[in-house]
Amino acid sequence: MYKILKKDGNAKRAEFTTVHGTVQTPVFMNVATVAAIKGGVSTEDLEGIDTQVVLSNTYHLHLRPGDELVYRMGGLHKFMSCNKPILTDSGGFQVFSLAKTRKIREEGVYFHSHIDGHKLFMGPEESMRIQSHLGSTIAMAFDECPSAKAEHEYVQMSVDRTTRWLLRCKKEMDRLNGLEYTVNPHQMLFGINQGAIFDDIRIEHAKRISELDLDGYAVGGLAVGESHEEMYHVLDTVVPFLPENKPTYLMGVGTPANILESVDRGVDFFDCVYPSRNGRHGHLYTNRGHINILNAKYEMDDTPIEEGCGCPACRRYTKAYIRHLLKAGEMLGMRLCVLHNLYFYNHMMTEIREAIEKGEYKEYKKRKLEGMLEFDS
Protein backbone atom coordinates (compact mmCIF):
# COMPACT_ATOMS: atom_id res chain seq x y z
CA MET A 1 0.00 0.00 0.00
CA TYR A 2 1.27 3.45 -0.98
CA LYS A 3 0.36 6.50 1.05
CA ILE A 4 1.47 10.06 0.32
CA LEU A 5 2.26 11.80 3.60
CA LYS A 6 3.25 15.18 2.21
CA LYS A 7 3.74 16.97 -1.08
CA ASP A 8 6.13 19.86 -1.63
CA GLY A 9 5.78 21.05 -5.22
CA ASN A 10 6.03 17.81 -7.19
CA ALA A 11 8.27 16.19 -4.57
CA LYS A 12 6.46 13.46 -2.63
CA ARG A 13 7.12 12.09 0.83
CA ALA A 14 5.34 8.72 1.03
CA GLU A 15 5.17 5.35 2.73
CA PHE A 16 5.08 2.06 0.84
CA THR A 17 4.00 -0.99 2.82
CA THR A 18 5.14 -4.45 1.73
CA VAL A 19 5.15 -7.91 3.33
CA HIS A 20 8.80 -7.28 4.22
CA GLY A 21 8.16 -3.98 5.96
CA THR A 22 7.31 -0.34 5.26
CA VAL A 23 9.58 1.76 3.05
CA GLN A 24 9.88 5.50 3.61
CA THR A 25 10.20 7.31 0.28
CA PRO A 26 11.99 8.91 -1.51
CA VAL A 27 14.36 5.96 -1.14
CA PHE A 28 17.63 4.71 -2.60
CA MET A 29 17.86 0.97 -3.24
CA ASN A 30 21.24 -0.54 -2.54
CA VAL A 31 22.46 -2.64 -5.44
CA ALA A 32 23.30 -6.29 -4.70
CA THR A 33 23.27 -7.67 -8.25
CA VAL A 34 24.36 -11.20 -7.39
CA ALA A 35 22.78 -11.14 -3.91
CA ALA A 36 25.84 -9.35 -2.54
CA ILE A 37 26.79 -5.68 -2.33
CA LYS A 38 30.12 -5.54 -4.13
CA GLY A 39 33.07 -4.56 -1.94
CA GLY A 40 32.43 -7.09 0.83
CA VAL A 41 29.43 -5.36 2.40
CA SER A 42 27.26 -7.83 4.34
CA THR A 43 23.53 -7.77 5.06
CA GLU A 44 24.53 -7.01 8.65
CA ASP A 45 26.50 -3.94 7.47
CA LEU A 46 23.34 -2.64 5.79
CA GLU A 47 21.84 -1.98 9.23
CA GLY A 48 24.54 0.59 10.01
CA ILE A 49 24.18 2.62 6.81
CA ASP A 50 20.46 3.52 6.81
CA THR A 51 19.54 1.01 4.10
CA GLN A 52 15.84 0.32 3.49
CA VAL A 53 15.68 -1.68 0.27
CA VAL A 54 18.05 -4.06 -1.53
CA LEU A 55 18.05 -4.58 -5.29
CA SER A 56 19.05 -7.84 -6.91
CA ASN A 57 19.03 -9.30 -10.36
CA THR A 58 17.02 -11.95 -12.18
CA TYR A 59 19.50 -12.47 -15.01
CA HIS A 60 22.57 -12.90 -12.80
CA LEU A 61 20.89 -15.12 -10.20
CA HIS A 62 19.33 -17.28 -12.92
CA LEU A 63 22.81 -17.95 -14.33
CA ARG A 64 24.49 -18.36 -10.94
CA PRO A 65 23.64 -19.97 -8.52
CA GLY A 66 20.36 -20.65 -10.38
CA ASP A 67 16.90 -19.55 -9.24
CA GLU A 68 15.89 -23.19 -8.66
CA LEU A 69 18.64 -23.46 -6.04
CA VAL A 70 17.56 -20.20 -4.36
CA TYR A 71 13.96 -21.49 -4.36
CA ARG A 72 15.04 -24.71 -2.66
CA MET A 73 16.96 -22.67 -0.11
CA GLY A 74 13.70 -20.92 0.78
CA GLY A 75 13.96 -17.83 -1.44
CA LEU A 76 16.33 -14.88 -1.69
CA HIS A 77 15.52 -13.34 1.70
CA LYS A 78 16.44 -16.54 3.50
CA PHE A 79 19.35 -17.35 1.19
CA MET A 80 21.12 -14.03 1.79
CA SER A 81 19.71 -13.61 5.31
CA CYS A 82 18.05 -10.30 4.52
CA ASN A 83 14.81 -9.21 6.15
CA LYS A 84 14.41 -5.96 4.20
CA PRO A 85 12.29 -5.51 1.10
CA ILE A 86 14.15 -6.76 -2.00
CA LEU A 87 13.38 -5.58 -5.52
CA THR A 88 14.53 -7.76 -8.41
CA ASP A 89 15.10 -6.33 -11.86
CA SER A 90 13.58 -8.47 -14.58
CA GLY A 91 16.65 -9.41 -16.56
CA GLY A 92 15.50 -7.60 -19.69
CA PHE A 93 17.93 -4.72 -19.31
CA GLN A 94 20.86 -6.97 -18.35
CA VAL A 95 20.25 -9.29 -21.30
CA PHE A 96 20.54 -6.24 -23.54
CA SER A 97 23.57 -4.75 -21.83
CA LEU A 98 25.59 -7.89 -20.98
CA ALA A 99 24.74 -10.83 -23.18
CA LYS A 100 26.50 -11.34 -26.47
CA THR A 101 24.54 -12.02 -29.67
CA ARG A 102 20.89 -11.59 -28.79
CA LYS A 103 17.81 -11.95 -30.93
CA ILE A 104 14.61 -10.23 -29.89
CA ARG A 105 11.41 -11.97 -30.96
CA GLU A 106 7.75 -11.64 -29.98
CA GLU A 107 8.11 -14.54 -27.53
CA GLY A 108 11.22 -13.09 -25.80
CA VAL A 109 14.99 -12.83 -26.17
CA TYR A 110 17.47 -15.49 -27.31
CA PHE A 111 20.99 -14.80 -26.08
CA HIS A 112 24.25 -16.32 -24.89
CA SER A 113 25.35 -16.32 -21.25
CA HIS A 114 28.06 -13.75 -20.48
CA ILE A 115 29.64 -16.30 -18.13
CA ASP A 116 30.14 -19.40 -20.29
CA GLY A 117 28.48 -18.54 -23.59
CA HIS A 118 25.73 -21.17 -23.47
CA LYS A 119 22.45 -20.54 -25.28
CA LEU A 120 19.54 -19.18 -23.27
CA PHE A 121 16.05 -17.83 -23.74
CA MET A 122 14.16 -15.38 -21.54
CA GLY A 123 10.68 -14.04 -22.10
CA PRO A 124 8.09 -12.47 -19.79
CA GLU A 125 6.95 -15.83 -18.37
CA GLU A 126 10.53 -17.02 -17.71
CA SER A 127 11.38 -13.73 -15.99
CA MET A 128 8.29 -13.97 -13.74
CA ARG A 129 9.02 -17.63 -12.89
CA ILE A 130 12.62 -16.80 -11.96
CA GLN A 131 11.54 -13.83 -9.84
CA SER A 132 8.85 -15.96 -8.21
CA HIS A 133 11.49 -18.56 -7.32
CA LEU A 134 13.59 -15.78 -5.80
CA GLY A 135 10.51 -14.57 -3.91
CA SER A 136 11.55 -10.91 -4.03
CA THR A 137 9.23 -8.31 -2.54
CA ILE A 138 8.88 -6.47 -5.84
CA ALA A 139 9.31 -8.04 -9.28
CA MET A 140 9.96 -5.87 -12.32
CA ALA A 141 8.24 -6.41 -15.65
CA PHE A 142 10.25 -7.87 -18.53
CA ASP A 143 10.96 -5.02 -20.93
CA GLU A 144 13.17 -3.97 -23.80
CA CYS A 145 15.29 -0.88 -23.19
CA PRO A 146 15.91 0.58 -26.65
CA SER A 147 19.04 2.64 -27.23
CA ALA A 148 18.73 6.41 -26.61
CA LYS A 149 19.77 6.80 -30.23
CA ALA A 150 17.12 4.46 -31.71
CA GLU A 151 14.77 5.85 -34.39
CA HIS A 152 11.13 6.69 -33.67
CA GLU A 153 9.86 3.78 -35.76
CA TYR A 154 11.98 1.20 -33.93
CA VAL A 155 11.12 2.60 -30.50
CA GLN A 156 7.38 2.52 -31.28
CA MET A 157 7.58 -1.10 -32.39
CA SER A 158 9.68 -2.02 -29.35
CA VAL A 159 7.40 -0.25 -26.86
CA ASP A 160 4.30 -1.92 -28.32
CA ARG A 161 5.97 -5.28 -27.80
CA THR A 162 7.00 -4.27 -24.24
CA THR A 163 3.30 -3.54 -23.56
CA ARG A 164 2.32 -7.01 -24.81
CA TRP A 165 5.09 -8.47 -22.65
CA LEU A 166 3.72 -6.57 -19.64
CA LEU A 167 0.27 -8.14 -20.09
CA ARG A 168 1.94 -11.57 -20.18
CA CYS A 169 3.98 -10.69 -17.05
CA LYS A 170 0.86 -9.71 -15.14
CA LYS A 171 -1.03 -12.85 -16.11
CA GLU A 172 1.91 -15.10 -15.19
CA MET A 173 2.58 -13.28 -11.90
CA ASP A 174 -1.10 -13.67 -10.90
CA ARG A 175 -0.88 -17.38 -11.65
CA LEU A 176 2.41 -17.84 -9.76
CA ASN A 177 1.16 -15.94 -6.70
CA GLY A 178 -1.77 -18.38 -6.51
CA LEU A 179 0.36 -21.54 -6.51
CA GLU A 180 0.66 -23.60 -3.35
CA TYR A 181 4.46 -23.54 -2.99
CA THR A 182 5.21 -19.94 -3.84
CA VAL A 183 8.01 -18.33 -1.79
CA ASN A 184 6.20 -14.97 -1.61
CA PRO A 185 2.52 -15.19 -2.61
CA HIS A 186 2.27 -11.39 -2.14
CA GLN A 187 4.97 -10.61 -4.69
CA MET A 188 4.32 -7.22 -6.26
CA LEU A 189 4.75 -6.29 -9.91
CA PHE A 190 5.99 -2.92 -11.20
CA GLY A 191 5.47 -1.94 -14.85
CA ILE A 192 8.17 -0.08 -16.80
CA ASN A 193 7.58 2.92 -19.05
CA GLN A 194 9.78 3.06 -22.15
CA GLY A 195 9.93 5.26 -25.25
CA ALA A 196 13.48 6.64 -25.38
CA ILE A 197 13.28 10.44 -25.71
CA PHE A 198 10.05 10.54 -27.74
CA ASP A 199 7.32 12.39 -25.81
CA ASP A 200 4.45 10.92 -27.85
CA ILE A 201 5.56 7.31 -27.33
CA ARG A 202 6.36 7.88 -23.63
CA ILE A 203 2.94 9.45 -22.93
CA GLU A 204 0.89 6.90 -24.85
CA HIS A 205 2.78 4.06 -23.16
CA ALA A 206 2.37 5.65 -19.70
CA LYS A 207 -1.40 5.87 -20.25
CA ARG A 208 -1.60 2.23 -21.42
CA ILE A 209 0.29 0.78 -18.48
CA SER A 210 -1.45 3.02 -15.93
CA GLU A 211 -4.74 1.26 -16.74
CA LEU A 212 -3.34 -2.04 -15.49
CA ASP A 213 -3.47 -1.28 -11.75
CA LEU A 214 0.06 -2.53 -11.09
CA ASP A 215 1.75 -2.09 -7.70
CA GLY A 216 4.11 0.59 -8.97
CA TYR A 217 5.51 2.18 -12.11
CA ALA A 218 9.08 2.60 -13.26
CA VAL A 219 10.55 4.93 -15.81
CA GLY A 220 13.11 2.87 -17.73
CA GLY A 221 15.27 3.59 -20.72
CA LEU A 222 16.94 6.63 -19.15
CA ALA A 223 20.60 7.21 -18.24
CA VAL A 224 21.49 5.22 -21.35
CA GLY A 225 23.39 7.94 -23.21
CA GLU A 226 20.94 10.86 -23.43
CA SER A 227 21.82 14.22 -21.83
CA HIS A 228 20.71 15.12 -18.31
CA GLU A 229 18.39 17.76 -19.79
CA GLU A 230 16.75 15.13 -22.01
CA MET A 231 16.32 12.87 -19.01
CA TYR A 232 14.67 15.62 -16.93
CA HIS A 233 12.48 16.51 -19.89
CA VAL A 234 11.24 12.89 -20.12
CA LEU A 235 10.45 12.94 -16.39
CA ASP A 236 8.62 16.28 -16.68
CA THR A 237 6.63 14.78 -19.55
CA VAL A 238 5.84 11.30 -18.33
CA VAL A 239 5.51 11.36 -14.52
CA PRO A 240 2.20 13.34 -14.69
CA PHE A 241 0.73 10.46 -16.75
CA LEU A 242 1.65 7.77 -14.21
CA PRO A 243 -0.80 7.03 -11.36
CA GLU A 244 -0.21 9.40 -8.46
CA ASN A 245 -1.41 6.82 -5.96
CA LYS A 246 1.40 4.40 -6.87
CA PRO A 247 5.17 4.66 -6.36
CA THR A 248 7.37 5.91 -9.21
CA TYR A 249 10.78 4.35 -9.74
CA LEU A 250 13.54 5.82 -11.91
CA MET A 251 15.68 2.86 -12.94
CA GLY A 252 19.46 2.99 -12.73
CA VAL A 253 19.74 6.67 -11.76
CA GLY A 254 22.07 8.20 -10.82
CA THR A 255 24.37 10.90 -9.45
CA PRO A 256 23.33 12.75 -6.27
CA ALA A 257 22.36 15.71 -8.49
CA ASN A 258 20.22 13.45 -10.73
CA ILE A 259 18.42 12.15 -7.64
CA LEU A 260 17.84 15.64 -6.21
CA GLU A 261 16.39 16.82 -9.55
CA SER A 262 14.26 13.70 -10.04
CA VAL A 263 12.73 13.84 -6.55
CA ASP A 264 11.62 17.34 -7.53
CA ARG A 265 9.80 15.73 -10.48
CA GLY A 266 7.89 13.22 -8.35
CA VAL A 267 10.18 10.14 -8.26
CA ASP A 268 10.10 7.89 -5.16
CA PHE A 269 12.55 5.03 -5.86
CA PHE A 270 16.11 5.06 -7.17
CA ASP A 271 18.93 2.60 -7.66
CA CYS A 272 22.41 3.02 -9.00
CA VAL A 273 25.77 1.25 -8.97
CA TYR A 274 27.70 4.53 -8.62
CA PRO A 275 28.21 4.56 -4.84
CA SER A 276 29.52 0.99 -4.70
CA ARG A 277 31.41 1.07 -8.01
CA ASN A 278 33.03 4.44 -7.33
CA GLY A 279 33.77 3.44 -3.75
CA ARG A 280 35.72 0.41 -4.94
CA HIS A 281 37.98 2.78 -6.85
CA GLY A 282 38.43 5.24 -4.00
CA HIS A 283 36.07 7.86 -5.46
CA LEU A 284 34.14 9.16 -2.50
CA TYR A 285 31.07 11.37 -2.23
CA THR A 286 31.09 14.25 0.22
CA ASN A 287 28.90 17.29 0.78
CA ARG A 288 31.60 19.34 -0.96
CA GLY A 289 31.79 17.18 -4.08
CA HIS A 290 33.73 14.03 -4.78
CA ILE A 291 37.24 13.28 -3.74
CA ASN A 292 39.73 10.69 -4.91
CA ILE A 293 41.24 9.22 -1.76
CA LEU A 294 44.26 7.98 -3.73
CA ASN A 295 45.28 11.59 -4.31
CA ALA A 296 48.72 12.30 -2.77
CA LYS A 297 47.33 15.18 -0.76
CA TYR A 298 45.58 12.71 1.57
CA GLU A 299 48.75 10.77 2.39
CA MET A 300 49.01 12.25 5.89
CA ASP A 301 45.45 13.54 6.25
CA ASP A 302 44.31 12.67 9.75
CA THR A 303 40.67 13.69 9.27
CA PRO A 304 37.75 11.42 8.29
CA ILE A 305 36.45 11.33 4.69
CA GLU A 306 33.76 13.73 5.85
CA GLU A 307 33.68 15.53 9.17
CA GLY A 308 30.48 14.65 11.05
CA CYS A 309 29.58 11.69 8.78
CA GLY A 310 27.90 8.89 10.73
CA CYS A 311 29.21 6.01 8.58
CA PRO A 312 31.40 3.22 10.00
CA ALA A 313 34.43 4.51 8.04
CA CYS A 314 34.22 8.14 9.21
CA ARG A 315 33.32 7.34 12.78
CA ARG A 316 36.66 5.62 13.28
CA TYR A 317 39.26 6.00 10.52
CA THR A 318 41.29 8.74 8.85
CA LYS A 319 41.73 9.44 5.14
CA ALA A 320 45.43 8.61 5.48
CA TYR A 321 44.65 5.14 6.81
CA ILE A 322 41.93 4.35 4.25
CA ARG A 323 44.20 5.59 1.46
CA HIS A 324 46.95 3.29 2.72
CA LEU A 325 44.57 0.30 2.81
CA LEU A 326 43.45 0.89 -0.78
CA LYS A 327 47.03 1.34 -2.00
CA ALA A 328 48.05 -1.86 -0.23
CA GLY A 329 45.17 -3.71 -1.92
CA GLU A 330 43.62 -4.53 1.44
CA MET A 331 39.95 -5.56 1.25
CA LEU A 332 39.11 -3.37 4.23
CA GLY A 333 40.00 -0.25 2.23
CA MET A 334 37.42 -1.00 -0.42
CA ARG A 335 34.85 -2.00 2.13
CA LEU A 336 35.17 1.24 4.11
CA CYS A 337 34.94 3.32 0.92
CA VAL A 338 31.80 1.51 -0.25
CA LEU A 339 30.22 1.81 3.21
CA HIS A 340 30.88 5.55 3.23
CA ASN A 341 29.41 6.07 -0.25
CA LEU A 342 26.29 4.00 0.45
CA TYR A 343 25.80 5.87 3.70
CA PHE A 344 26.18 9.15 1.81
CA TYR A 345 23.38 8.17 -0.62
CA ASN A 346 21.08 6.69 2.01
CA HIS A 347 21.62 9.60 4.36
CA MET A 348 20.93 12.10 1.57
CA MET A 349 17.56 10.35 1.11
CA THR A 350 16.86 10.85 4.84
CA GLU A 351 17.63 14.57 4.44
CA ILE A 352 15.43 14.71 1.33
CA ARG A 353 12.50 13.19 3.24
CA GLU A 354 12.97 15.64 6.12
CA ALA A 355 13.16 18.60 3.73
CA ILE A 356 9.91 17.59 2.00
CA GLU A 357 8.20 17.12 5.36
CA LYS A 358 9.19 20.66 6.32
CA GLY A 359 8.08 22.00 2.94
CA GLU A 360 11.64 23.18 2.29
CA TYR A 361 12.63 20.89 -0.57
CA LYS A 362 13.57 23.56 -3.10
CA GLU A 363 15.84 25.34 -0.62
CA TYR A 364 17.40 22.05 0.47
CA LYS A 365 18.07 20.99 -3.12
CA LYS A 366 19.69 24.31 -3.96
CA ARG A 367 21.92 24.23 -0.87
CA LYS A 368 22.96 20.62 -1.44
CA LEU A 369 23.77 21.15 -5.12
CA GLU A 370 25.74 24.32 -4.43
CA GLY A 371 27.75 22.55 -1.76
CA MET A 372 28.85 19.63 -3.94
CA LEU A 373 31.09 21.59 -6.25
CA GLU A 374 34.56 20.51 -5.25
CA PHE A 375 36.21 17.80 -7.34
CA ASP A 376 39.73 16.42 -7.15
CA SER A 377 40.08 13.46 -9.49
Q: How far is the CB of 293 from ligand PRF (least distance, A)?
A: 28
- Would you give the binding string for ligand PRF spanning residues 66-95, x where CB under 6 A is met? -----------------------xx-xx--
Choose the contact partner of 221 out of Zn ion, ligand PRF, none; CB within 5 to 8 A by kind.
Answer: ligand PRF
What is the spatial distance between Cα 58 and Cα 54, in angstroms, rounded to a whole number?
13
Choose the contact partner of 340 out of Zn ion, ligand PRF, none; CB within 5 to 8 A by kind.
Answer: Zn ion
What is the spatial distance between Cα 79 and Cα 69, in angstroms, rounded to a whole number?
9
Q: Residues in contact with ligand PRF, total (CB under 6 A)?
A: 15
Helix 331-357 to helix 361-371 angle (10° resolution) is 150
- Would you give the binding string for Zn ion spanning residues 322-341, x where CB under 5 A is met? ------------------x-
Q: How far is the CB of 269 from ligand PRF (least distance, A)?
A: 12
Among 63, 218, 311, 356, interactor with Zn ion by CB under 5 A: 311
- Which amino acid does the sequence have at 178? G
Q: Is 271 one of the annotated active-site residues of the chain?
A: yes
What is the spatial distance between Cα 120 and Cα 91, in angstroms, rounded to a whole number?
12
Q: Is 264 one of the annotated active-site residues of the chain?
A: no
Q: How far is the CB of 140 from ligand PRF (least distance, A)?
A: 5
Among 148, 309, 320, 332, interactor with Zn ion by CB under 5 A: 309
**Nearest of 105, 101, 112, 211 to residue 167 by alpha carbon:** 211
Nearer to Zn ion, 14 or 313 (CB): 313
CB 141 within 8 A of CB 165: yes
What is the spatial distance between Cα 219 and Cα 250, in angstroms, rounded to a whole number?
5
140 sits near ligand PRF (criterion: CB under 6 A): yes
Q: How would you classify the pairing of strands 27-31 and 109-112? A: unpaired
What is the spatial distance between Cα 194 and Cα 296, in angstroms, rounded to a whole number?
44
What is the spatial distance between Cα 14 and Cα 12, in angstroms, rounded to a whole number?
6
Q: How far is the CB of 304 from Zn ion (least distance, A)?
A: 6
Largest CA distance in the chain: 61
Q: Which stretch binds ligand PRF (CB under 6 A): 51-59, 222-230, 293-301, 309-317?
A: 222-230
Which residues 6+ apart lie within 8 Å of 200 measured at CB? none
Give the Å distances, CA to CA, from 28 to 49, 171, 217.
12, 29, 16
Q: How far is the CB of 291 from ligand PRF (least distance, A)?
A: 26
Choose the catalytic residue: 8, 50, 67, 89: 89
Torsion 73-79-84-89 (CA) sign: negative
Nearer to ligand PRF, 157 or 223 (CB): 223
Note the residues at the interface with ligand PRF (CB under 6 A): 89-90, 92-93, 140, 143, 145, 192, 220-224, 251-252
Active site (catalytic) residues: 89, 271
Note the residues at the interface with Zn ion (CB under 5 A): 305, 309, 311, 313-314, 340
